[in-house]
Amino acid sequence: MIFSLESKVAVVTGGGSGIGKAIAECFASQGATVCILDLNDQSAKATADAIQKSGGKAAHFACDVSNQSATVEVMRRIADQFKSIDILVNSAGIAKVSRLDTTSESDFEKIFQVNVKGTYNAMYAAIAHMKKQNKGVILNVASIAATLGIADRFAYSMSKGAVVSMTLSVAKDYINCVRCNSISPARIHTPFVDGFLKANYPGNEKEMFDKLSKVQPIGRMGTPQEVAHLALYLCSDEAAFVTGCDYTIDGGFTRLNG
C-alpha cells in the first residue's frame, strides 16, 4: 500500500481537535499506532476512541507541551510502551488576533509558550529516542503567517516564523538520522474558525465565512483532511528524500493573490 505507516508509532500533539485530529485519524487509517497528546484529555480520548472503533490503533495522553518535564515524561512512557517513536507531528497551537500595540505581554508569552516552546519541548523529548533508533520523522505545523505579512496576527506570526526556523535547524543538525519538515496552511475550516466568527461577528457568521473563504484564490478554505494528506506524504517512506522544507497548502494564497 502506498503511503503505508504499518509498524510506525506516530505521536501527534494537539491531536484532540482540528488539524491534529485529522492527521491522527489519517495516520491510523494507514496503519500507524497513533499516540494523541492534548491538553484536553477528553478530546484526546475521544479521538483515540473513534480511531479504535474504526479498527485503528491509538492511545491518548494528557500533556501540556509548554511544560518540558511533563512532555519528556510522556515521550518516555510512549517509547517504553510502544518500543519506538517513528514520527512526531507538532500540531498543538493557539492563535491571537492582535497587532503589536494591542498584544499584551501575557498574550505574547502565552502564544510563545505553546507554539514555540511547545514545539521545542516535543522535539527535544522525541529526538533522543529517534537518535537511539537512528531514524525518525518530525513534521511541524507552521502557517503562511510565518513568511507573509498577515494583518492582526503579530504574535501568532512571530511564533510560526520560529517554528519554520526550528524546522530548518533540526533538519540540518540531524540530517543523518532524522527528516524534519514543516507545513504552512492558509485558512483551514476548523472549529477554531467557527468559534472565532461566533465570538467576533455574531449574527453575521455566514457573511464573514464567505468573505474569509474568498481570500484564498481557489475560493474556499481548506479542510483538515487535505492538510492531513500532505502530512501523510511527508511522514511516509515515499518522502524519504524530503527534509528541511516548508510546504505551503494555501489554495493559491501565497503565489496567486494580487
Lookup: cell for 37: 497528546
Q: Coil, strand or helix: which one is 98?
A: strand
Residues 83-108 as b/e (b if ≥16 CB within 10 A, e otherwise) read: ebbbbbbbbbbbbbebeeeebeeebb
- Alpha carbons within 13 angstroms on the beta-carbon side of residue 232 total 24
CA-CA distances (angstroms) from residue 79 to 10, 91, 183? 11, 20, 25
Q: Which of these is catalytic: 120, 124, 156, 247?
A: 156
Residue 247 annotated in active site: no
CB 69 within 8 A of CB 57: no
SS3 content of the chain, % helix, strand, coil (to 5): 50, 15, 30
Q: How far apart are CA 231 and CA 89, in angstroms?
A: 8
Which residues are marked as active site? 156
